[in-house]
Structure 1
């Protein structure tokens, strides 16, 4: 078991991860390797990462929700699918080797990043048409698939969700608010599953969770203050980091 001094670097890294995750997703690319570095087993690291992710995604959700940057009518329809998908993904870990998909997911997320960055206007303007059949046909199955991915593998969930909501017509700030809310639901679904497994290291996950929540609150406020252009710049960096995280175990 790690010594308590691992929190000397674990707490600031959790804060940084929360900030980045609230803006553009991808905070797990920092926290999960940190937990491995602390000496946790793979099962302990994955489970504990879900514990602290609950704090961060929950904090960001509150900030975006209060500022009116979450499309509540749509998101409330998607939350049950996010919960179902993440729980299903966590269960599938016992039958499917997640590592087999790492290369494919890395390629997909890089492709997503290129599409966002090459199109200079993509995500900078809000063109959400409302709860149209097209929006529901895109977001309902999309949320379920991303939820399964989060429970099964995880890195890049928030990044995928932001792309999904941007395709639905939201600007990147509102996409981030919607994505954080759904990501909280996927984290919650997987959290319950991993909690029952008894692998969480609470004395590490709880303080790192608080630090993650503080970083997420600051990141959400910064995203709303600086706007979609700022979010888009961070998003491009996160896409590369997530892809590298998937390829370098």
Structure 2
């Protein structure tokens, strides 16, 4: 069992992860390796990571929601798909080696990042047309696939969701808000699963969760204050981190 001194670096890293995740997703690429570095076995690290992640996703969802940056009529329709997709993904882990898909996903997320960053207009203005047939045809299967990926592998789920919402016409601020709400749903489902499994280390997860929530609060505030241009810069950083995390086994 780790020494309590690990929280000296665990807390600031959890804060940083919450900040980044609230802006552009990808916070788990910081917290999960941190928990493993602390000395937690993989099963306990994954479970504890979900414990602290639910604090951060709840904090950022609340901030975006109270400021009107979440499209609730759409998001509430997507939550059941997100829960089903993540559950299927978690089930498939037992039958398929996730390493088979990691390199492919890394290439895809680099392509997504390149498209977002090279297009000056992508995600800058809000052009969401409402619950049209085109939007539903894109967002419903897209959410199911990304949520399945979340349960199966995980890193960069929020980043993929942001891209999906931006394709549907949202600017990057509202895309981030919608993505955080969906992430809260998938984190809640995984949290219940791992809580029943009894693998969480609460004396690590709870204080790091509080730090993660504080970072998410600051990150969401900063994203809404600085707008889509700021989010694009953070997005570029997260795309590179997630791709590296997937390529380095």
Report the TM-score, using the length of structure 1 for normalisation: 0.98
d(CA) in 2 for partners of 1:163, 1:142: 10
- In structure 2, distance between residues paired with 1:211 and 1:91: 31
Counting only pairs closer than 5 Å after superposition, residues 116-131 of structure 1 correspond to structure 2 as: 116-131=116-131
Q: How far has the Cα of 1:189 moved from its partner?
A: 1.6
Q: How many matched pairs?
A: 249
**Residue of structure 2 in register with 1:53 after alignment:** 53
The answer for unaligned runs of 5 or more in structure 2 is none
Give CA deviations for 1:41-70 in whole Å, capped at 9, x if unaligned: 111111111111111011000000000000
- CA apart distance, 1:40: 0.7
Separation in 2, partners of 1:7, 1:171: 37
| Cα deviation digits, residues 65-87 of structure 1 (max 9, x gap) | 00000001100100111111112
Inter-partner Cα distance in structure 2 for 1:192 and 1:139: 26
Establish whether residue 16 from structure 1 lines up as the match of residue 19 from structure 2.
no
- Compute the RMSD of aligned alpha carbons: 0.9
2:103 corresponds to? 103
Q: Please list, as runs of the form range in 1=range in 2, the aligned pairs for 1:52-201 lying within 5 A after superposition.
A: 52-201=52-201
Summarize deviations over 1:186-245 as a string: whole Å, max 9, x none: 111222222222211111111111100000000000000000000011101110011001
CA distance in 2 between counterparts of 1:2 and 1:90 reads 27
Alpha-carbon distance in 1 for matches of 2:29, 2:105? 14
Instruction: Return 81-90 or 19-28, whichever deviates more.
Output: 81-90
Distance in structure 1 (CA, Å) of the matches to 2:182 and 2:113: 20
* Residue of structure 2 equivalent to 1:241: 241
Unmatched runs of 5 consecutive residues or more in structure 1: none
3-state SS of paired residue (2:240): helix
Give distance in 2, aligned partners of 1:194 and 1:110: 31
Extract structure 1 runs of 4+ deviating beyond 6 A. none
User: Taking structure 2 as the reference length, what is the TM-score of the superposition?
Assistant: 0.98
Contact residue 223 and residue 230 of structure 1 kept, 8 A: yes
Given the superposition, is the C-alpha separation of residues 197 and 100 from structure 1 closer, same or farther in structure 2, using an over 3 Å criterion? farther
Superposed CA deviations along residues 7-48 of structure 1, whole A, max 9, x for unmatched, are 110000000000000000010111011001000111111111
Assess if the C-alpha contact under 8 Å between 1:15 and 1:212 holds in 2. yes
